[in-house]
Structure 1
């Protein structure tokens, strides 16, 4: 009788030990799963943070893009020859003729016979007065200037520098194609030439960099 009881007790003990080990194994799997979930969860913010600087960089404007309030008057359709993209395909006199801000300048360049000179010369910087800039000149004086080819040529070439100047290099004193000097003040996206201001700068054409200005720059005659 004692032998049967002993055998039964040993069997129950073995069963209890087996059950205990099974529960421990389950607990170990749960802990591993939980730790894995925590690792994945903690990695997500890090991965998100690593993506943020890239997104921030892509949102920054290109450093070689045109700038200034006057650029809003330039066509935005890339297929338009007067757009920034369109102007980049043509030499400067042709590019200016397609820009709606520069119709009077285009007429003056033709009147002075400078179209071929400007289109065929490499690496220029052109300060291009808007139509409003020419309109600010008394009509009588503007008509007299347009009728005097020599004076008109001097005024127009006073707006042209014989090297291509980026926004980082445009400030300073530069010799013009008229043979005189032009002083540009400012930095960044804020430049002036005397009382004139650059209203749309760093516009690229095939052979020149254009800075559209709000006044006609008059040389000493």
Structure 2
């Protein structure tokens, strides 16, 4: 009788051990082998990358604060209009709009498909001596050369600007460099409000007026 009880107890113990082994195997197979600390670090890195991507998907830069919060001149309003019309609704670009109108380029810009415009802010034109600026505005051919030099092919993203070379509508190349929220164009003008979307263009508002290379 004692022998029979020992055999039953032994069998039960063996069965429990087998079930425990199976359960442990499944747990090992279902886990990724990483410690809780490593999983937490991976999650934090992923969230940081997602936050960075989210931030860079919209406008950035100090001058973006000057853009109206509502209405046709706001970011959402500009996104609904072609670029020349969108710029005309943004008070920070009024001098540029006057120049575009003077050069009769409104329809050219509005009808273009997938372009990027490096748009000088009003303060950028203010850096040009008044006499020189008036002379430029009165010389339609030269004005057209200058303005079309600010327009390049394709809707360029901030990542494209990190080390970019683009063909302008004027014909000469425009170069860009930088990262994050700090970009320069032709090593002379800084982006002060970037990645602004319009119906047919991406706009980077800059703090200088670009001059095409002389032939």
Same fold flag (TM > 0.5): yes
Shift in Å at residue 93 of structure 1?
0.2
Unaligned runs of 5+ in 2: 1-39
Shift in Å at residue 89 of structure 1?
0.3
Correspondence for 1:191 = 183
Correspondence for 2:100 = 109
Correspondence for 1:202 = 195
Q: Distance in 2 between matches of 1:156 and 1:88?
A: 21
Q: Distance in 1 between matches of 2:74 and 2:211?
A: 28
Normalised by the size of structure 1, how large is the TM-score? 0.71
Shift in Å at residue 189 of structure 1?
1.3
How many residue pairs match? The answer is 166
- SS of aligned partner of 2:101: helix
Rg comparison, structure with higher value: 1
Q: Find 1:175's aligned residue among 158, 163, 167.
A: 167
Shift in Å at residue 81 of structure 1?
0.4
Determine if contact 2:115/2:153 at 8 Å carries over to the other structure: yes
2:115 maps to 1:121: no
Q: CA RMSD, aligned part only?
A: 1.8
- SS of aligned partner of 1:102: helix
Q: Find 2:139's aligned residue among 148, 167, 172.
A: 148
Deviations along 1:19-72, one digit per CA (max 9) or x if unpaired, are xxxxxxxxxxxxxxxxxxxxxxxxxxxxxx9xx98xx78x94443110000100
Shift in Å at residue 118 of structure 1?
0.2
Q: Distance in 1 between matches of 2:199 and 2:164?
A: 24
Correspondence for 2:64 = 71
Shift in Å at residue 100 of structure 1?
1.1
Higher mean C-alpha displacement, 188-197 vs 155-164: 188-197
Correspondence for 1:27 = none
Normalised by the size of structure 2, how large is the TM-score? 0.73
- SS of aligned partner of 1:94: helix
Q: Distance in 2 between matches of 1:133 and 1:114?
A: 20
Q: Distance in 1 between matches of 2:128 and 2:159?
A: 31
Q: Distance in 2 between matches of 1:82 and 1:73?
A: 10
Q: What pairs with 1:16-55 in structure 2 (closer than 5 Å)?
A: none
Q: Distance in 2 between matches of 1:187 and 1:63?
A: 11
Correspondence for 1:89 = 80
Q: Distance in 2 between matches of 1:145 and 1:220?
A: 16
